[in-house]
Chain A
Amino acid sequence: QVQLQQSGAELAKPGASVKMSCKASGYTFTSYWMHWVKQRPGQGLEWIGYINPSTGYTEYNQKFKDKATLTADKSSSTAYMQLSSLTSEDSAVYYCARVGSSGYGDYWGQGTTLTVSS
């Protein structure tokens, strides 16, 4: 069965960087794009960007272009997102979601909670 297993909760200081992971199983990793979505407490969903694991091509929401860097390791079927220059505004739950060319997320990870605090 398809599973997206995300890395554990992170506590980081303002100005630091974090890298979180999303390990895929149960399907061919390179056949689907991996999208990342942000959700602040009690808020809606924001699309950050996606990576095509087959080619490494990435596309970002302009809002996150200088904040997020998406990568993928085909050998381990794992997608990564690095967030830099952290501020309290980055405190949120971050989800990875499998998305085909169709454009909808049919499988989602359980989320990684990031807390930015000094």
Chain B
Amino acid sequence: DIVLTQSPATLSVTPGDSVSLSCRASQSISNNLHWYQQKSHESPRLLIKYASQSISGIPSRFSGSGSGTDFTLSINSVETEDFGMYFCQQSNSWPRTFGGGTKLEIK
């Protein structure tokens, strides 16, 4: 199985900061990597598909980059509504796997 390792586990930031979240795959997955946001007691929401492709309705401050084994989700000028958990997921092979998540919290 492909293991996705997310770092850091927790990121404490002030609204207005810009941040980068990392997701590293145990083997190359090309660009078959997707990012989700999950707020407390809510379902995951798709933010970025195929490493860097934007999703309709998602604010432009969210962007993704990377390919192969190293991927980054960037948030330009974090807003209070952005706090929560972020997960990456690979669709390169079966079984599908998720990263352990990064918690974005208010400093």
Shortest Cβ gap from A32 to chain B (Å) = 14
Interchain pairs with CB closer than 8 A, number: 53
A37 to B24, CA, bound (A): 21
Selected interface stretch from A7-15, A42-50, A67-75, A84-92: A42-50
Q: Is the interface of A mostly helix, strand, loop or mixed?
A: strand
Give the complex CA separation of A44 and B28 in angstroms: 22
Q: Which residues of B contact A103 (CB under 8 A)?
A: 32, 34, 91, 96
List A contacts of B101 (CB < 8 A).
44-45
CB distance from B11 to the nearest CB of A (A): 16
Q: Please, how many angstroms separate the alpha-carbon atoms of A69 and B2 in the complex?
A: 23
Is B43 touching A110 in the complex (CB atoms < 8 A)?
yes
Q: Are B43 and A35 in contact (CB under 8 A)?
A: no
Identify whether the interface residues of B are mostly helix, strand, loop, or mixed.
loop
Contact string, B40-80, partner A, CB cutoff 8 A, digits 1/0?
Answer: 00011110011000010000000000000000000000000
User: In the bound complex, do residue B98 and residue A45 qualify as a contact, i.e. CB atoms below 8 Å apart?
Assistant: yes
A111 touches B (CB below 8 Å): yes
- B50 neighbours in A (Cβ, 8 Å): 102, 104
Nearest 8 interchain pairs by C-beta = A103-B91, A108-B43, A104-B34, A61-B95, A47-B96, A45-B98, A44-B100, A104-B49
A: residues with CB less than 8 A from B are 35, 37, 44-47, 49, 59, 61-63, 95, 97, 102-106, 108-111
A-binding residues in B (CB < 8 A): 32, 34, 36, 43-46, 49-50, 55, 87, 89, 91, 94-101
